């Protein structure tokens, strides 16, 4: 026999009725008490009866997560956002319906019109994202990770890519570097409207000009078989560069092997700075100074905002656009 509501109540230090209120939403309870209850649910592996809960709350207790695994995206990096969203949703008592349909607007309309979900989290947000008109017409609230051209009506969370670029350029400029190469996301990211790419690139170019630094940007590759040749081609063409900035997950993951094969010592021959998460660095044993991309915090923030909207329909302030402040983590790969 699995854990019961009584077991959850005992571990959380509350009454059985309080657990029922947390699951049904019939009464308001404090955030601290609600969190203790969901922590106990997670610890015990308790599963409420979904049908009874849906009848009591008129909710599905399911959140839609819309994303696409584009060929030019590096899947291990994207999965960090998926994990953050799903883990936070479970702590809040929700399951996730993952939708990867390439016809994003049609898929979104299908799951919102049918009432399959209580709210939607959007990843892979484009500058002019075709899914946004559907979201605005839906009766469910939405939150997104990524900044569109017009975020009106939805809670938006994203890294401040412009400030991340400025921090990196300042760091290298302060160390005396005057010739810097930037490897950006693949060209297709820019052409389809991946605004994070040009937000970082344009800010880096502008900051470098202000600091008297020559910065040359080159599109990186997504195909791992093409990355070694692409990196070598860039470094051959910019032999005078003393520092390399990598804003390309697939290239960053392969960089130690590529530079090792080239006989480049970091930072003696070349200073290197990148942008990714600490977990990404550990996964690929990357020794470089980096700006934390914060996928965990971004995914968590989006889900928490969405659940607040679901819990208080029409009762909260206007949706917000919030940037996560970048943090430069110095790892000794610059000199």
Report pLDDT digits (tens) over 239-292.
Answer: 999 999 999 999 999 999 999 999 999 999 999 999 999 999 999 999 999 999
What was the pLDDT predicted at 138? 93
Distance CA 47, CA 54 (A): 13
CB 76 within 8 A of CB 280: yes
What was the pLDDT predicted at 39? 84
Does 152 share its domain with 300?
yes
What was the pLDDT predicted at 40? 86
Does 112 share its domain with 23?
no
- pLDDT tier for residue 96 given thresholds of 50, 70 and 90: very high
Exposure class string for 84-118: b at 16+ Cβ within 10 A, else e: bbbbbbebbbbebeebeeeebbebbbebbeeeebb
Does 236 share its domain with 118?
no
Report yes or no on 52 lying in a domain: yes
Does 84 share its domain with 170?
no
Three-state SS at 239 = coil
pLDDT tens-place string over residues 217-249: 999 999 999 999 999 999 999 999 999 999 999
What was the pLDDT predicted at 20? 76
Distance CA 90, CA 41 (A): 9
Q: What domain count does the chain have?
A: 3
Distance CA 118, CA 133 (A): 18
- pLDDT tier for residue 24 given thresholds of 50, 70 and 90: low
What was the pLDDT predicted at 287? 97
Which pair of structure tokens corresponds to residue 205? 């170019």
Does 153 share its domain with 299?
yes
pTM: 0.82
Distance CA 224, CA 96 (A): 31
- Averaged over 147-152, what is the pLDDT? 94
Distance CA 123, CA 270 (A): 34
Q: What share of the chain is helix, strand, coil (3-state, %, to 5)?
A: 45, 15, 35
Report yes or no on 331 lying in a domain: no
Mean pLDDT of the chain, nearest integer: 91
Q: Identify the residue with better confidence: 296 or 69.
A: 296
In this predicted structure, the answer to whether residue 69 has a pLDDT above a threshold of 90 is no
- Averaged over 13-39, what is the pLDDT? 79
Report yes or no on 41 lying in a domain: yes
Report yes or no on 334 lying in a domain: no
Does 63 share its domain with 169?
no
- Averaged over 159-185, what is the pLDDT? 98
CATH (domain of 19): 1.10.260.40
Question: Which of the 8 DSSP states describes residue 318?
Answer: P
Share of the chain above pLDDT 90, in %: 73
- pLDDT tier for residue 21 given thresholds of 50, 70 and 90: confident
In this predicted structure, the answer to whether residue 313 has a pLDDT above a threshold of 80 is no
- pLDDT tier for residue 201 given thresholds of 50, 70 and 90: very high
What was the pLDDT predicted at 267? 98
Distance CA 133, CA 22 (A): 33
Domain hosting residue 320, numbered range: 58-159+295-324
Does 167 share its domain with 279?
yes
User: Which residues, 6 or more positions from 242, have their beta carbon under 8 angstroms from its beta carbon?
Assistant: 177, 178, 179, 180, 270, 271
CATH (domain of 256): 3.40.50.2300
Does 165 share its domain with 284?
yes
Does 271 share its domain with 225?
yes
In this predicted structure, the answer to whether residue 137 has a pLDDT above a threshold of 80 is yes
Does 152 share its domain with 168?
no
Report yes or no on 170 lying in a domain: yes
């Amino acid at each position: 026999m699995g854990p019961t509501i009584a077991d959850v109540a005992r571990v959380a230090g509350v009454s059985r009725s309080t657990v029922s209120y947390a699951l049904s939403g019939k009464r308001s309870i404090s955030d601290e008490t609600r969190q203790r209850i969901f922590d106990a649910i997670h610890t015990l592996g308790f599963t409420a009866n979904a049908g009874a809960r849906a009848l009591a709350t008129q909710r599905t207790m399911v959140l839609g997560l819309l994303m696409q695994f584009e060929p030019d995206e590096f899947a291990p990096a994207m999965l960090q956002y998926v994990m953050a969203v799903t883990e936070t949703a479970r702590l809040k008592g929700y399951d996730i319906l993952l939708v990867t349909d390439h016809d994003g607007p049609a898929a979104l309309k299908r799951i919102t019109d049918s009432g399959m979900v209580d709210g939607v989290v959007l990843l892979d947000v484009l500058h002019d994202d075709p899914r946004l008109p559907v979201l605005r017409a839906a009766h469910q609230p939405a939150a997104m990770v990524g900044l569109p051209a017009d975020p009106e009506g939805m809670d938006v969370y994203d890294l401040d890519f412009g400030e991340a670029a400025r921090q990196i350029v300042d760091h290298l400029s302060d160390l005396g570097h005057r010739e810097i190469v930037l490897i950006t996301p693949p060209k297709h990211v820019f052409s389809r409207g991946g605004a994070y790419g040009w937000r970082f690139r344009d800010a880096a170019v502008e900051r470098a000009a202000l600091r008297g630094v020559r910065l040359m940007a080159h599109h990186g590759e997504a195909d791992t078989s093409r990355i070694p040749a692409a990196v070598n081609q860039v470094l051959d063409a910019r032999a005078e560069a003393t520092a390399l900035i990598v804003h390309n997950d697939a290239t960053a993951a392969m960089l130690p092997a590529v530079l090792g094969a080239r006989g480049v010592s970091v930072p003696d021959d070349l200073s290197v700075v990148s942008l990714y998460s600490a977990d990404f660095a550990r996964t690929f044993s990357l020794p470089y100074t980096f700006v934390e991309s914060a996928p965990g915090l971004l995914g968590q923030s989006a889900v928490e905002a969405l659940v607040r909207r679901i819990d208080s329909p029409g009762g909260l302030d206007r949706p917000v656009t919030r940037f996560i402040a970048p943090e430069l983590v110095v790892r000794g790969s610059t000199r």
